[in-house]
Amino acid sequence: MNEIREIKIDLNRPSINYKIHIGKNILNHIIDFLPKKNFSKIMLLTHSYLYELYGKSIEALFKENNYEFNLKLIEEGENSKDWNICHNVLEDMIQNNLDRSSLLLTLGGGVIGDLGGFCASIYQRGIDFLQIPTTLLACVDSSVGGKTAINLTNNGKNLIGSFYQPCSVVIDINLLKTLNQNEWKNGLAEVIKYAFIREDNAEFYKFLEQNKNEILERNNDEIILKMIETSVQSKAKVVMQDEYEKTGQRMLLNLGHTFAHVLESGSSYQIAHGTAVSIGMNLAVKLSRILNLITEETANKIIKLILDFGLEMQIPKQYNFNAEALVKAFVYDKKAENKKIKFVLPSGELSHSAVFSDISEKLLKDLFSISL
């Protein structure tokens, strides 16, 4: 087996601490990454073409090791983070007699991980689930930290969900080879975010700048592994300090996300999460400048990295967003308290962000008016 990097998520409760295994060609060793061996049944949740590409060999490995194996396929796309699909997955879990010592495997991007994690968290009050992320976004962000969710139809991005940690995460960069360039860039939006939220990531900004060509062209496994490992470590640190988003630390991971969520739901999820995040980071930078939280030099450095990676910065015209409706949609954000919307904004030094909750509606409308 190639070298495996292991990141421990220590949540001060030994029964739910787990490891994130990162490497190349490591999926063949998935049985070694199970936290225990005596699972009564395994169910794999994925999309049909991911099953063809990677799921079949996972199935073979489990069957060779005498596990009872079931498969559940769902449609790809954000619309699968939905009550009806969730209900349907739970029904299948019941039909297949999964019990409390069964394991749900999620093979896919953030959609599969968020939906599967949520199903695992409520089925029989919680069964084990193991994440095998297959998009860059899922590797560096959604598979780490135990946030699970489905959407409600109107403005309801991630409004139903739970904090529920996986029992193990296996990140094999070989699986990312089939990802198209758009999806790669969606993941890069979440990677870049880490460079701007905590001082201990100042070096990461330099790393990303220096290696942008290799990262975009995906031609250097060592650099890709280091980028994923650093991102996972950053997220892990925050999650270990603030598992339930109580102290404000974990909220920093939402840089650009308050804007992103209204753009995603306002476009009926036609704007992908990663794209919405890069547009959201641009809006956050603009807002920080208006509030004089950062210098123009710092703003330019942030924008330069977003541009260097060819990420989307402008709100697309075709959805006819208007400033008033966008501002109204903020009240559905989970971070809103007493109708006060919280924004994570770059503030001070380059790799520093903070949470602000006293942004007036007028300011937001003005921001959208100059950005639409």
Residues that bind ligand NAD (CB under 6 A): 47, 50, 76-78, 81, 108-112, 114, 134-135, 137-138, 141-142, 145, 147, 158, 175-176, 178-179, 183, 186, 273-274
Q: What are phi and psi of 106, to 5 degrees?
A: -110, 120
Of 50 and 262, which has the nearer Cβ to ligand NAD?
A: 50
Does 254 qualify as catalytic in the annotation? yes
Does 81 qualify as catalytic in the annotation? no
Report the Cα–Cα distance between both ends of the chain, in Å, rounded: 51
Of 166 and 346, which has the nearer Cβ to ligand NAD?
A: 166
Residue nearest to ligand NAD (CB): 110
The catalytically annotated residue of 47, 157, 273, 335 is 273
Question: What's the min distance (Å) between Cβ of 52 and ligand NAD?
Answer: 11
Of 271 and 364, which has the nearer Cβ to ligand NAD?
A: 271
The catalytically annotated residue of 78, 245, 264, 312 is 245
The catalytically annotated residue of 185, 257, 342, 352 is 257
The catalytically annotated residue of 81, 185, 198, 250 is 250
Does 29 qualify as catalytic in the annotation? no
Q: What are phi and psi of 67, to 5 degrees?
A: -90, 145
Residue linked to tokens 């084990």? 128
Of 92 and 264, which has the nearer Cβ to ligand NAD?
A: 264
Residues 6 or more apart from 36 whose CB is under 8 A from it?
none
Of 142 and 233, which has the nearer Cβ to ligand NAD?
A: 142
Cα–Cα separations (whole angstroms), residue 29 to 7, 9, 18, 22, 34: 17, 20, 17, 12, 10
Of 191 and 299, which has the nearer Cβ to ligand NAD?
A: 191
Does 261 qualify as catalytic in the annotation? yes
The catalytically annotated residue of 24, 41, 157, 235 is 235
Q: Is 123 left (phi over 0), alpha (psi -120 to 50) or beta?
A: beta
Contact assessment for residue 158 and residue 78, using Cβ atoms and an 8 Å cutoff: no
Q: Number of helices (H) and strands (E) in the chain: give both, helices first.
A: 14, 11
Q: Which segments of the chain does DSSP mark as H helices, in order?
A: 48-50, 56-64, 83-95, 110-122, 136-137, 181-194, 202-210, 212-217, 221-241, 257-266, 273-290, 296-308, 323-329, 361-371
The catalytically annotated residue of 125, 177, 246, 362 is 125
Contact assessment for residue 271 and residue 321, using Cβ atoms and an 8 Å cutoff: no
Question: What's the min distance (Å) between Cβ of 175 and ligand NAD?
Answer: 5
Question: What's the min distance (Å) between Cβ of 65 and ligand NAD?
Answer: 24
Question: What's the min distance (Å) between Cβ of 229 and ligand NAD?
Answer: 18
Contact assessment for residue 255 and residue 282, using Cβ atoms and an 8 Å cutoff: no
Contact assessment for residue 252 and residue 353, using Cβ atoms and an 8 Å cutoff: yes
Does 273 qualify as catalytic in the annotation? yes
CA pseudo-torsion sign 135, 266, 250, 167? negative
Question: What's the min distance (Å) between Cβ of 97 and ligand NAD?
Answer: 28
Does 198 qualify as catalytic in the annotation? no
Of 77 and 310, which has the nearer Cβ to ligand NAD?
A: 77
Question: What's the min distance (Å) between Cβ of 194 and ligand NAD?
Answer: 12
Does 250 qualify as catalytic in the annotation? yes
Question: What's the min distance (Å) between Cβ of 342 and ligand NAD?
Answer: 17
Please spell the DSSP secondary structure of 273-296, one letter per residue. HHHHHHHHHHHHHHHHHHTT-S-H
What value, to the nearest 5°, has the Cα angle with vertex 234 and ends 275 and 302? Answer: 45
Of 50 and 341, which has the nearer Cβ to ligand NAD?
A: 50
Question: What's the min distance (Å) between Cβ of 138 and ligand NAD?
Answer: 5
Residues with catalytic roles: 125, 147, 190, 235, 245, 250, 254, 257, 261, 273
